[in-house]
Amino acid sequence: MNSGQNASSHPKSSPNLDLQDRNTFGFDASAELAYEITATDQISGIMQEIAEKQLTWRVLGGGSNVILPKVLPGATLLMNITGQQIITADASSTLIAVGGGVNWHEFVAWTLENDLPGLENLALIPGTVGAAPIQNIGAYGVEIGEYIDSVEAFDSKSHAFVTLTKDACQFAYRDSYFKKNPHHYIVTKVVFKIPKLWHARIHYADLAKQFSKNSSPSSEDVFLAVCKIRTHKLPDPKVIGNAGSFFQNPIVPNEQYETLLQKHPGLVSYPDAAGKRKLAAGWLIDQCGFKGRRMGDVGVYEKQALVLVNHGNGTAEDILGLAKCIQDKVRKEFGVSLDIEPNIL
């Protein structure tokens, strides 16, 4: 993979950089100081400069899972390292190394074009490859942590590049070591392990419905079905600002689930890997009457209550105010806490 090692390692910074097109909510935001990273060998110099200036810092990829304030203070590192290649393949699996700045959906499409199925359930998730392990992105019964072999990153504490094994990443539902410790590592490359043995994973309700007459779809079929479902349910950020699913699906003990089910027979849920129940946050929000509701310039998407939207001139404060209203109502009605999925910067 070309990691741009021949690129200049001298850090170039841009003051007051407009970030409106680097966050899918489309918030009017800017970075006090921005550094574009296109090669790994730039990072050491950038981090040295940040340390000398004693600046706060964060990494920004596609901006699809963030809530940006009017001004991001300190330094913002724009992750734009590209490139992907198959590094090894044996009888059981294929290893693929991918730059942290590669567009996630384009990478998923590339795997299918190269006859490497497995990631098709994660099609059309916005953002970059580097952000995928941080959030442990997931959809339709698949989490990316299952397919990660290792992560290459710059360790801001030791000022050196390291390789983290899958176990070291501490993947959990929409969580990872990176998410819990946002200033430790800068993810530069992800190595994926794609098994040769493939079967369609279509047990989630929307996909099961889509393939009710076809019990053995191809990976391409699943990919196209996921794209169709997501396009129908989720608004295009280019048309209306949003960050996809705004709340995590809450996981509750079975006893609490049974009690809720008695009160609310229509409760939508799924079994959790740990033997608990994962409740559909969108259903809970919909039952509280928020779907399609608008508060000033922000609101809840009319087709999917899990998605909060910016109708034009909304701000981080507006969206968080709406989120709090939803959280309070869901807690009051169901006794369940909703956690915000996007990172609040």
Contact in structure between 298 and 314 (CB atoms under 8 Å): yes
* Architecture of the CATH domain 84-195: 2-Layer Sandwich (3.30)
Q: Confirm if 192 and 122 have CB atoms less than 8 A apart.
A: no
The pLDDT, as a whole number, for residue 282 is 96
Domain ranges across the chain = 13-79, 84-195, 241-344
Give yes or no for residue 184 having a pLDDT over 50. Answer: yes
- Confidence class for position 13, pLDDT limits 50, 70, 90: confident
Tokens of 339: 């956690």
pLDDT at 93: 98
The pLDDT value recorded for residue 9 is 56
Catalytic one of 58, 174, 201, 293 = 174
Q: Which of 36, 49, 333, 341 is an active site residue? A: 341
Which listed CATH number (3.40.50.720, 3.30.420.40, 3.90.78.10, 3.40.640.10) goes with 241-344? Answer: 3.90.78.10
Q: What is the pLDDT of residue 334?
A: 98
174 catalytic, yes or no? yes
Share of the chain above pLDDT 70, in %: 97
Per-residue pLDDT, averaged over 310-318, amounts to 96
CATH number of the domain at 13-79, please?
3.30.43.10
What is the C-alpha to C-alpha distance for residues 180 and 170, in angstroms, rounded to an integer? 10
Catalytic, out of 30, 219, 245, 269: 245
Catalytic status, residue 331: no
Q: Do the two domains 84-195 and 241-344 of this chain adopt the same fold?
A: no
Residue from 3, 186, 149, 6 nearest 83 by CA: 3
Average pLDDT value for residue range 194-215: 94
Q: Which residues, other chains included, contact 185 with Cβ-Cβ below 8 Å and sequence gap of 6+?
A: 151, 153, 154, 155, 156, 162, 164, 178
Count of alpha carbons within 13 angstroms of residue 243, beta-carbon side:
26
The arithmetic mean of pLDDT across residues 275-293, rounded, is: 96
22 included as an active-site residue:
no
Tell which residue, 271, 321, 276, 331, has the closest CA to residue 300: 321
Beta carbons of 22 and 35 less than 8 angstroms apart: no
